[in-house]
Each structure stands twice: as C-alpha cells, then as structure tokens.
A and B are shown apart, each in its own frame.
Chain A
Amino acid sequence: MSQEPVRLPRDRAEDHPLDPPPGLARLREERPLARMRYPDGHVGRLATGHATVRAIAADPRFSSRYELMHYPFPGGPDGPLPPAPPGDMTGMDAPEHTRYRRLLAGRFTVRRMRELTARVERITTDHLDAMERHGPVVDLIEAYAHPVPALMICELLGVPEADREMFTRRAAAVFDAEAPVEEQTAALTRLGEYVHELALAKRKHPTDDVLGELTRTDLTDAELAGVGSFLLAAGLDTTANMIGLGTLALLRHPDQAAALRAEPESADRAVEELLRYLTIAHTGARVALEDVELDGQVIRAGETVTLSLEAANRDPARFPDPDTLDLRRKATGHLAFGHGPHQCLGQQLARVELRVALPALFTRFPTLRSAVPPEEVRLRRNTSVHGVRRLPVTWDEG
C-alpha cells in the first residue's frame, strides 16, 4: 500500500514510437491508480486503467482548475499552475466552464461540422493537387498535415481570405520542427495576438463565423479574444498531428491502408480506431476536491490525478488485443477526446477533417510510402501532443 511513488513514464520504445511508453502498461497491470511524484515534488496519483480514468474524468468531486493542479510534466512551475486566463475553459469548473461550453457547443454540433465537409474536401483536393504537381519527394507534414487544419481554423474563426497566407505561414512557425520550443511558443503568442485583433474587429463588423457569432453574446472583449486563442491552440496542433501520425500508422500497416482505400465507407470506424490507437493528446489531469474512495484506495483532497488517456485506450480489459491497429474494430468508447463535461469541444470537427483527409490521401496516391527508412522518420519527443516532425513520402507517378 505504501509503495514508493512512481514518476510518470514518458519514454517511448525506439522501435515502437506509436505505442505509449512501456512503463505505463506495467503500471496499468500492477498499480492502475499509483501514487505519483510530480516534478515539483507534489505526491498525487497516476491513473492508467480505462474504467478508472473514465470515472475520474466525469466525477464532479474532481476539479479541472489549473490553480489547484500540479503539472505532470517537467518544465512546469514550482507549485500549482497559474489560473486559466479568460476563455481557456479547459482549466475551469462549473459554473464558469458551463457558461463558455454552452456559448460554444452550438457552434460545434455534429450537424454544423458535417456541413463543413465540402469545404474540407475542397481544401484537401487543393493540397493533394499541389503535391501531385510538385512530384515526389514531399514532406507530408508541411504539404498536407499542417495546412489542412490551419485553413479549417481560418474558416471557423472567419479569418479573411487576404490574411490566410499570413495565418498559415505563422501557423507553420508554431509547428517548426527545427525551432526551439520558445520560438514555437512565441509564434503561437503572435498568432493569438492576431486572433485577439480579429475578434475585436468582428465586434465592430460582425460576420457569420464562430467568432462573429460570439460577438453577439455577453462575452467581454477579453473573454472573446481568449476564446479565439483557445480555439486556435486546441484546433491547430491536434488535428495536424492526427493527420501526420495517422498517415505514418497507415504507411506502417499497408494492409489496413488498402482496406481503407477499398472501402471509403469504412472511414468512420477507421478514424475512431486511429484516434484510440494513437491518442495523441495522451495525458489529462484533475484535482480531488474532497477525499474520494476509488478502487479500494482513498485519493486525498488536494491530490492531483494524472489521467493517462493513452494507457486507458490500450487497456485490454476494455479493448481486446489493444496494441493491434485494427481499422475494422469498434473502437467507440475510447478516451482520445477525454471524458466528462470537458470532453473535446471540437471532436466533431476533428472527425470530419480526418474522415476526409486520410482516405483522400491514400486514394489519390495508392502507392504512397515513406521515402526514408523507419528509423529516419523524426517523431516528436516528450511533447504534450504526440506527432511526427517530418514525414518524407514518395509515390509512383503515373
């Protein structure tokens, strides 16, 4: 019972970069709700089992407020995090969170996101055409995985056509594999400033997009700008990495890619399985607001609980043969978008983008393959969102 607290396992196996760090699987088996020592010295918990992670994420006795939370990764503050700025609803509880959620959820419904399908098709077609014109070899990340979600964010936020080239250029700087983290953060800040100005401009001249609609609510200027930055940060890096890493996973499982190409109607199921298998936003956190008894243990008030979504999505108790990518399996119930009232607001947009972008790529280039040996594909390391930095691809020109 009084075992040494563990550290959060972060290192992926060199030869299995698409799998969670192996240490997580061992913990899930032996100590699914382990005591964990945080980088700032706090002793809290680490949840790795699917049922446990799911239960904590949905339990109102656990808070999402940043200012109560100890950061699970190295590089955080010496103590709890600063409170969420206006608009950053991830770090809030009800009723503040509920207010933002209700203002935003109507803009991200299944129906409204499906209405964007034709727009996603247009954008993917344009970028596939450009790849074809250029000819092999192409870095898939730069040519496809980054620009498609960036342009969809422009669509959603209502970035004027004239600004879109600038916007995607700045977005590319956010993703720049060669740049130090500080420069990437600075690029995101600059983009946030642009969105701030855009939001205030829409206050004067309201438009028909999400940001424009939000100017007609009771959000203050600071809240409106904060929501814009939040949507930008939440929507840019995530879908881009899902397209990049999803492509890499399919290239490494050509039989699965062939099945997706042969049956485009199977894309719904395939996307859910890729979300489960890759779980790029791999880690979440909550804080116990009171003593909570769970799985025969007591989580004390004030303890931060790290939720390993990637370990939960590979739990054999929930998904048989969990380490096998099987696009035909029914992967619903995965926690790739989290669970509880904070479950990803933009998940229906992500689904629409992935359902279009991945099959379109493999249909356009049936002979698509990596242009470099597996060990030369550069993956992200120790980032909060997993992904591929560069993915040079080639194909047979016909």
Chain B
Amino acid sequence: MTGRKAAGREAAAVVLRVDRDRCAGSGMCVLTAPGVFDQDAGDGRVLLLDARPPAGPAATAAREAAGLCPAGAIAVRAAPAPDR
C-alpha cells in the first residue's frame, strides 16, 4: 500500500507551462524528456509537445527537465485531481 502510494506520488500527472522569453535553447529539456519538449529549428527555443504528460515516466521526466532547465523557463504543477 505504502509502496504504491510512493510510486504514485513520484509519477503523478503534471501540467506544464514554458516561458519562451526566458528560454536559452540549451536543449536540456529535449535531452531529458524528448516526448514532452522539442526545440524550434530556427532559434532553438523550447516547444511544448505535451502540456499535460500523464502519470508515469513522461511526467517524471518532465519534472526532472524543469529542475535542470538552466534558464528556469519550465513551470510544473500537479495536475488537478480527476473527477471522482
């Protein structure tokens, strides 16, 4: 029970927002969460492919990418709980 809860907390669904004014185009997000982020081929800045990665590896990677972003251009919040 506890184990399942812990695993659920780590990979909970998230909602993402990117700030393209801040973005420096380092590519850390694409390196870390390739299914969630991409880079503009023109100026290298972030493109959000999936603003609501579901619970699981994609959400975990997105959280990690936000933490690694050198420009602090990725905001993450927990997805609102689904309707019961």
B45 & A102 in contact (Cβ 8 Å cutoff): yes
Q: Is A254 an interface residue (CB 8 A)?
A: no
Q: Is A348 an interface residue (CB 8 A)?
A: yes
B72 & A58 in contact (Cβ 8 Å cutoff): yes
Q: Which residue of B lies closest to A102 (CB)?
A: B43
A347 & B27 in contact (Cβ 8 Å cutoff): yes
**Quick one: given A109-B39, A333-B67, A348-B31, are A343 and B44 in contact (CB under 8 Å)?**
no
**Residue total for A at the interface (Cβ-Cβ under 8 A):** 28
Q: Is A341 an interface residue (CB 8 A)?
A: yes
A109 & B70 in contact (Cβ 8 Å cutoff): no
A105 & B45 in contact (Cβ 8 Å cutoff): yes
Chain B residues contacting A58 (CB-CB under 8 Å) are 70-72
A195 and B69 CA atoms in complex are apart in Å by 32
Q: How many A-B residue pairs have CB under 8 A?
A: 74
A102 & B32 in contact (Cβ 8 Å cutoff): no
Dominant SS among interface residues on chain B: loop
Chain B positions near chain A (C-beta within 8 angstroms): 22, 24-28, 30-32, 34, 38-45, 64, 67-68, 70-72
4 shortest interchain CB distances as A-B pairs: A105-B44, A105-B25, A343-B70, A106-B44
A106 & B43 in contact (Cβ 8 Å cutoff): yes
A339 & B70 in contact (Cβ 8 Å cutoff): yes
Q: Is A382 an interface residue (CB 8 A)?
A: no
Q: Which residue of A lies closest to B26 (CB)?
A: A343
Q: Is A340 an interface residue (CB 8 A)?
A: yes
Smallest Cβ distance from B49 to chain A, in angstroms?
13
Smallest Cβ distance from A389 to chain B, in angstroms?
31
A341 & B24 in contact (Cβ 8 Å cutoff): yes
Q: Is A332 an interface residue (CB 8 A)?
A: yes
Smallest Cβ distance from A73 to chain B, in angstroms?
24
